[in-house]
Amino acid sequence: MAAVGASFGAIAIASGLPVWAVVAMSSVLYAGGAQFMAVGLIAAGSPFAAIFAGLLINARHLPFGLALGDTLGARWRDKLLGSHFMTDEATAFALAQPEGAARRRAFWLAGIVLFLAWNAGTLLGVLLGGTAGDPAVLGLDAAFPAGLLALLMPALRDPRTRTVAAAGAAIAVLATPVLPAGLPVLLALGGLAVLLVPRRRKEQPC
C-alpha cells in the first residue's frame, strides 16, 4: 500500500498537481486506484469527468457498507469514520473474521493501518518527485487484486460462494469491452445480489 501510494504521489506531482492537492486527495478522498484515474483525467483537462468516474468506481462501497454496517459501530461518528477507512482490502479482511468483536477489531486495525500506509507513501512520493515511476512497470498495479484474492480464499471453500464469485467475475469480464470503466463491477454486484436474495429469503425464519 505504501509503495503504490508513493507511486501515486510521484505521478501526481509529475502531472502538475500542487503538493497540497496531492496530499489532500490521499487524506480527504482516500480513493486508492480511483486517484490514479482522477489524476490522468485532470491532467487531460477533464476535471468533471474525473469526479464522475471517481463516484462511479467507488459506488462499490455501497454494498460494502451494507455488509459492514453493524461492524462499524452504532454511533454516527463511528459510521462516518469507518466509511472513510473502508477499502476493498479492509472489507475483505474484516469479512474473513467471525461476526462480532473479532470482525470489528479486524476492520479497524486494517482500515487504520492501510490509511496511514497510503498517506505516508503519498508523502514519500511527493518528496521523491518522479523517481518512483509507474506502478504498472513494477507490477504494483497487481498488488491490490492479488492481496484481495488472498484474503477471499478462505470464503471460497463454500461451494455456493465459489459459484456466486465465478458468476460475478464472468459478468464483469464479459461486460468490460462494452461498458465504461466501473460499470462492469456494478453490473456484477447487481447480478450477485440477485443470486443471493433467494438464499437469504430461505434462511429467514417462518
What are the two backbone dihedrals, phi and then psi, of residue 45, each rounded to the nearest 5 degrees? 85, 25
Position 134 scores a pLDDT of 53
Q: Is 60 exceeded by the pLDDT of residue 7?
A: yes
Does the global pTM surpass 0.85? no
User: What DSSP string describes 121-146?
Assistant: HHHHHHHHGGGS--HHHHTGGGHHHH
Cβ atoms 189, 59 nearer than 8 A? no
Q: Is 50 exceeded by the pLDDT of residue 198?
A: no
Can you tell me the distance from the alpha carbon of 42 to that of 38, in angstroms, rounded to the nearest whole number? 6
Task: Quick: pLDDT tens for 25-70.
Answer: 889 888 877 788 788 778 777 777 777 777 777 777 777 877 887 7
Cβ atoms 143, 21 nearer than 8 A? no
Q: What confidence category does residue 199 fall into, taking pLDDT thresholds of 50, 70 and 90?
A: very low
Position 137 scores a pLDDT of 56
- Where residue 129 falls (left for φ over 0; alpha for ψ -120 to 50; beta otherwise) is left
Angle between helix 47-57 and 183-203 (nearest 10): 20
